[in-house]
């Protein structure tokens, strides 16, 4: 495997007024790693993912994305090739046909005019249809997105990500709103695609079982700090019990 470092975090700190959400967090993630971020509610998982995505400014610390400071990337085309995000609520445009949502993955490549035209005449249809087939949505390209089930909409979001084809994928609890069978399905598909394309995946999860089943490395967080950072096979039940254990007086 290549040893290119895709995400390097040096002493990341984030304060929200008095609240410390990230406290001097450091780690580095290599190309091709499948990283699960776990930890109790409020540990700072979302804040960390949002910082890496450039959505939340850090209080202090440094983030290098593929060797360059995050601040050196201009938003738009270059950054969209580098990094893609999947959210729990998918950010799809409900009233549009599925294919238009999938092609939105090309937005930053195409510029506004072509993107708007694509709302009428789907450009690069084949690309979108192939991505939809890959996620098991054959024949759904022209359905109205909001008529699809939650699991199907998450697949549309994945097809869009395939069209965007970024090097790093960040996902914040991507299966939290799905039933266990569908969640399993989506994670299997996501991790397979990421492996095929040698992308790097960082996903927060509430399910330790999914983290162990699909990810090669687990970074656990507690109170804005890294609690442990280990290859999945080295994560023990004792460590997990300690991670989720409530301290005296904490609720």
Residues that bind Mg ion (CB under 5 A): 45-46
Residue 200 interacts, among Mg ion, ligand ATP, none and using kind-specific CB cut-offs from 5 to 8 Å, with: none
The nearest distance, CB 24 to ligand ATP, in angstroms, is 15
Among the listed ranges 34-42, 99-107, 191-199, 210-218, the one in contact with ligand ATP (CB under 6 A) is 34-42
The tokens for 113 are 């005019």
| Interaction of residue 207 with ligand ATP, rule CB under 6 A | no
The tokens for 33 are 């790693």
Per-residue x/- mask for ligand ATP, residues 35 to 54, rule CB under 6 A?
----x-xxxxxxx-------
Among the listed ranges 15-23, 78-86, 162-170, 240-248, the one in contact with ligand ATP (CB under 6 A) is 15-23
Q: Residues 117, 118, 120, 124: is their CA dihedral positive or negative? A: positive
| Interaction of residue 174 with ligand ATP, rule CB under 6 A | no
Residue 105 interacts, among ligand ATP, Mg ion, none and using kind-specific CB cut-offs from 5 to 8 Å, with: none
Q: With contact defined as beta carbons under 8 Å apart, do 232 and 248 qualify?
A: no
The nearest distance, CB 211 to ligand ATP, in angstroms, is 13
């Amino acid at each position: 495997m290549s040893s290119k470092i895709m995400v390097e975090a040096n002493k990341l700190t984030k304060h929200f007024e008095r609240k410390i959400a990230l406290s001097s967090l450091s780690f580095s993630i290599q190309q091709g790693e499948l990283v699960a971020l776990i930890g109790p509610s409020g540990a700072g998982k979302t804040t960390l993912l949002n910082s890496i995505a450039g959505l939340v400014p850090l209080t202090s610390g440094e983030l290098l994305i593929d060797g360059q400071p995050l601040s050196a990337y201009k938003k738009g085309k270059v950054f969209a090739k580098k990094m893609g995000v999947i959210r729990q609520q998918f950010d799809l445009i409900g009233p549009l046909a599925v294919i238009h949502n999938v092609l939105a993955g090309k937005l930053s490549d195409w510029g506004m005019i072509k993107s708007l035209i694509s709302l009428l005449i789907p450009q690069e249809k084949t690309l979108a249809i192939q991505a939809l087939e890959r996620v098991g949505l054959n024949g759904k390209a022209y359905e109205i997105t909001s008529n699809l089930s939650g699991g199907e909409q998450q697949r549309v979001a994945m097809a869009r990500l395939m069209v965007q084809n970024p090097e790093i994928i960040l996902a914040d609890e991507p299966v939290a709103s799905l039933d266990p069978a569908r969640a399993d399905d989506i994670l299997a598909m996501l991790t397979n695609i990421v492996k095929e394309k040698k992308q790097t995946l960082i996903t927060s999860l509430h399910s330790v079982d999914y983290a162990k089943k699909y990810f090669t490395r687990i970074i656990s967080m507690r109170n804005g700090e890294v609690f442990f950072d280990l290859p999945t096979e080295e994560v023990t039940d004792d460590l997990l019990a300690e991670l989720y254990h409530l301290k005296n007086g904490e609720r």
